[in-house]
Chain A
Amino acid sequence: MSSPADMTSPAPASLPPGPVFDVAVIGGGVVGCAVARRFALAGAQVVLLEKGADILSGASKANSAILHTGFDAPPGSLELDLVKAGREEYLSIRDSLNLPLVHTTALVCAWTDAEAAALEGIAAQGQQNGIGGLALLTAAQARGRVPGLAGHLAAALAVEGEHVIDPWSAPLAYLTQAVALGAQVLTRCELLSGQFAGDWALLTSRGQIRARTVINCAGLFGDVVDQRLGCVPDFEIRPRKGQFVVLDKAAARHVPAILLPVPNEITKGIVVCPTAFGNVLVGPTAEEQDDRLRATVETETLRALLDHAARIVPDLKGIPVTAVYAGLRPASDKKPYRVYSRPQHRLITLGGIRSTGLSAALGLARHALDLYAAFGDVHVPPASVPAVSVPNLAETRERDWQRPDHGSIVCHCELVTRREIVAALNSPLPPGDFGGLRRRTRAAMGRCQGFYCTAALAELTAGRFATPLAVGPQGER
């Protein structure tokens, strides 16, 4: 019988003295993953440091999964440019990486005459932003697309290009490609401090790492990491929490499009939106808080979200809840992205990537490489780029359970096969915790939330996670 120690993955080894990396990326959120890929493609020796037990431990684990067009981004902003560039690159690489795209449209829904009046301004801004496929709709036209919209709809603005993606497989694919190109990924590795003397000596929780350039992609800790690197940060992170409810797949047929509210200054507002996994998501809220770590859900707020959804699409009333979650946006003291380059310190900071980072990540990565050009390092891009693809989790493409010889199903609700679990555990970027396994396979993410499969997963994952699912063998009777 196994002992409790066997349940937990071994503590990460201290690092042996190693080479001087060209680039150290701090943070394995979607931005860090995209940056690691872009620099690896450019031929740089990359190391990525993530303090969590797995990548996507921060803001990137919980978002609305919308690939934005930028129609409502501030005109002329860096954010707009990078959302557009990021979206374009996603569309061009997604097939080769096996990433999904759910061809939803967004409807900005106006529920009052005042909101209806605002739609024209939003459409004009979208046009100014260079976004095509905008159309003002009457309530009847909107209902032609989403028949279940509530009776008090006043008007809507359709934005054809707003799509839904898989928010976890995308960054996983970016980083997997970086790893295939030789990048190193160190999890449970927190940057503690750094000294710059021509190149960087970084002190981490796993020992010292040397790198010529540092790219700070630390999300909710972007300002803290700048400080730890001895720079006075140019911004201050102000976490903004978003809570969500995920409805059962039975809701999907009622919500064929992304339903956005007319936004206000602070937030895009509460969205009712299909997911790539066949569910419907309701959220996020926008709640300022000081805590950068805790993203709690609150019963009353979740109830309010359910009520909200049923007001907009009455057929959603009574559809069971599959999951609830909350995420923290790495917002800052100002609205724009906080991107800074310090050539004299060979440090680039991609900070304050508030609420569009999933869409903009690939654009941010290109932008970082552009800024890096000024540092003068020259790399030779690899002669050939290894083919990399990640397992598909989306309902819009074939899943493993649909193929012969998958062995058996482990998670019945999300139809996750044993073969998929084993493949994830043996992948180049194996999950470091249960959340990581869920994000890679969808296991235990369904309506029963693990009633049927958690125990089987506990056994399959023994010795793999920093926080194991079982604390040990059962005791004596």
Chain B
Amino acid sequence: MAGSRKTEMTDRDVLIIGGGPSGVAAGLELRRQGVTRVTLLDREPTLGGATRHCLHSPFGMREFGRVYIGAAYGRRLDREAAAAGLDVRTGHSVVSLGEEGVVTVTSARGVETLSARRVLVTTGAREMPRAARLLPGDRPVGILTTGALQAFVAFHGLMPFRRPLIVGSELVTQSAVLTCLTHGARPVAVVEAGPQALVRAPLGLFPGLMGIPFWRNTHITDIRGGSRVEAVTLLRDGQPVTVACDGVLLTGSFTPESALLLPTAQGVDPGTGGPAVDQSGRGRNPLYFAAGNVLRAVETGGWAFREGRAVGAALAADLRAGDPVAGPVIPVTHDDPVKLVMPSLLRRDSGMAAFRDFQVRFRHPASGVLSLEVDGREVWRRSGHWMPERRVLIPIPGVALMAERVHVRFR
């Protein structure tokens, strides 16, 4: 490697990794706040992130005041970034993060290292593939996620199957159904392992409205196919059923794209699967910030954009303050079945906050009282029936920043 590595020494202010809505929004905000030397890296050929392959709306309503389909929204981000004078480098894949804010990148030119005073990670989230779901059966061609399907259609005009079985019932499942129906595939059924759809009614009725059977309490017990998917056996309300199909489309179960962070000293938060950050979006290593879906899966493009903007503002303030923040962190812990709390850290002397609320999600449906305790004292409570994949917001109280312990309790 020695011969081909170039080190570029700059006094860059911020290096942003990932040019989806959150990364671009952060870059725009940094520029607006007068931070001059901002480089935005993305491994894809154009900006836009996961919106690029969405051939459907709605995107952009709140940030740009009009509705785009995903692909056009990505082009808008491209134009905004150029107009704002961001140093955009597409086709640049970051391969590792150093502890001192030095990152290793590969591009058509080979390997180089780039450094900056702060690094912002906005690498997004992706759907969990078949392997990580530990799905049983053969391993033929034709098992993919919504994002992969959309890339077939949007970038290559191709279709990977004609009669897939769709797994999941999140918001993205509707994108999956729509993408199939508008591009020459007819799903045989949509199946959800749980007792009800994960999206709210009436969206939960969506497949049915399109004439596609929607089966709850149903999970895969076998996938068959020597070379391509031929059939799937399901356990439906306790009964085995085999359906012929030529693909399996796995939707949802998003997971942060935190591959770069896993091997670093700061690692990832066990709840979110993304980097642990404080109320400013700053990581355990204070040279690193993060925003967007890498913080927690999964939110809409608009949410990711606003989060990027907020973290961009906090980051600009952090740079103005000079030295990286050094003080101790206050951990934010939680009970089961709370799956995650973001931010999962607080810092007393954090500077400008990017998050006014804790974002909380549940692992599985649960009824009970959710409360926030600061040093053992309850400061917020609400009872209810809580569903997975739904965002719950708990305001971050000022007293929490003075605390030793902050805990999200569930009873």
Residues on A lying within 8 angstroms of B by beta carbon are 1, 53, 246, 248-250, 253, 293-299, 302-303, 318-325, 398, 401-409, 412-413, 415, 433-434, 447-452, 454-456, 458-459, 466-477
Contact across chains for A450 and B148 when beta carbons are under 8 A apart:
yes
Residues B113-166 near A (CB distance < 8 A): 126-127, 129-132, 134-141, 144-145, 147-148, 151-153, 155-162
Q: Is the CB of B157 within 8 A of A451?
A: no
Cβ distance B100 to chain A, nearest Cβ, rounded Å: 19
Q: Choose from A407, A466, A475 the contact partner of B184 (Cβ within 8 Å).
A: A475
Check B175 for interface membership: any CB of A closer than 8 A: no
The reply to whether the CB of B111 lies closer than 8 angstroms to some CB of chain A is yes
Residues of the A chain whose Cβ atoms lie less than 8 Å from the Cβ of B162: 471
Q: Of the candidates A409, A448, A455, A466, which one forms a contact with B129 in the assembled complex, judged by CB atoms under 8 Å apart?
A: A448
**Also in contact, A475 and B132, with CB within 8 A (given A402-B110, A415-B95):** no
Whether B246 contacts A471 by the Cβ 8 Å rule is yes
Chain A residues whose CB sits within 8 angstroms of the CB of B135 once the complex forms: 297, 299
Across the interface, do B156 and A458 meet the contact criterion of CB distance under 8 Å?
yes
Minimum Cβ distance to chain B for residue A143 (Å): 21
Report chain A residues within 8 Å CB of B273: 320
Shortest Cβ distance from A279 into chain B, in angstroms?
Answer: 12
Contact assessment for B126 and A448 in the assembled complex, using a CB-CB cutoff below 8 Å: yes
Q: Given A406-B108, A409-B93, A477-B183, are A253 and B131 also a contact pair (CB < 8 Å)?
A: no
Instruction: Give the number of chain B interface residues (Cβ < 8 Å).
Output: 58
B111 touches A402 (CB 8 A): yes
Bound-state CA distance A449–B182 (Å) is 25
Instruction: State whether B157 touches A474 (Cβ < 8 A).
Output: yes
B259 touches A402 (CB 8 A): no
- B1: chain A residues at CB < 8 Å are 398, 402
The answer on a CB contact under 8 Å between B132 and A454 is no
Measured between alpha carbons, how far is A323 from B95 in the docked complex, in Å?
Answer: 20
Tell me whether B148 and A451 are in contact (CB under 8 A): yes
Residue of A403, A412, A451 near B93 (CB, 8 A) is A412
A455 touches B106 (CB 8 A): no
- Per DSSP, chain A at the interface is loop
Contact of B227 among A253, A402, A409, A466 (CB under 8 A): A466
**Contact in complex: B160, A471 (CB < 8 Å):** yes
Are A318 and B158 closer than 8 Å at their CB atoms? no
Question: What chain B residues lie within 8 Å of A253 (beta carbons)?
Answer: 263
Say yes or no: A404-B141 contact (C-beta < 8 A), given A324-B131, A473-B158. no
- Bound together, the chains give a CA A278 to CA B39 distance in angstroms of 30
Q: Does B185 reach chain A (CB closer than 8 Å)?
A: yes
Q: A323-B131, A433-B227, A475-B185 are in contact. Are A459 and B160 (CB under 8 A)?
A: no
Taking a contact as CB atoms under 8 Å apart, the answer to whether B110 and A405 are in contact is yes
Specify which chain A residues have a CB less than 8 angstroms from the CB of B157 in the assembled complex.
1, 473-474
Q: Which 9 pairs between the two chains have the least Cβ-Cβ distance? A: A475-B184, A404-B110, A449-B129, A455-B151, A250-B262, A470-B158, A467-B227, A474-B183, A455-B152
Residues of A within 8 A of B34 (CB): none
Given contacts A405-B110, A406-B106, A408-B91, 20 further A-B contacts (CB under 8 A): A249-B259, A294-B138, A297-B137, A299-B136, A303-B134, A318-B270, A320-B262, A402-B4, A403-B4, A404-B110, A433-B227, A451-B129, A452-B148, A455-B148, A455-B152, A458-B156, A458-B158, A468-B141, A470-B158, A476-B184
Report whether B184 and A474 are in contact in the complex, using a CB–CB cutoff of 8 Å: yes
- Asked if B236 lies at the interface with its beta carbon under 8 angstroms from chain A, I say no
B282 within 8 A of A: no
Asked whether A472 and B158 contact (CB < 8 A) given A401-B111, A412-B43, A415-B95, the answer is yes
Take A452-B151, A475-B183 as given contacts and tell me if A297 and B136 are in contact as well, using a CB distance cutoff of 8 Å: yes
Give chain B residues whose Cβ lies under 8 Å from the Cβ of A319: 262
A249 surroundings in chain B (CB, below 8 A) = 259, 262-263
Q: Judging by beta carbons under 8 Å apart, are B136 and A296 in contact?
A: yes
For A1, the closest partner residue in chain B by CB is B157
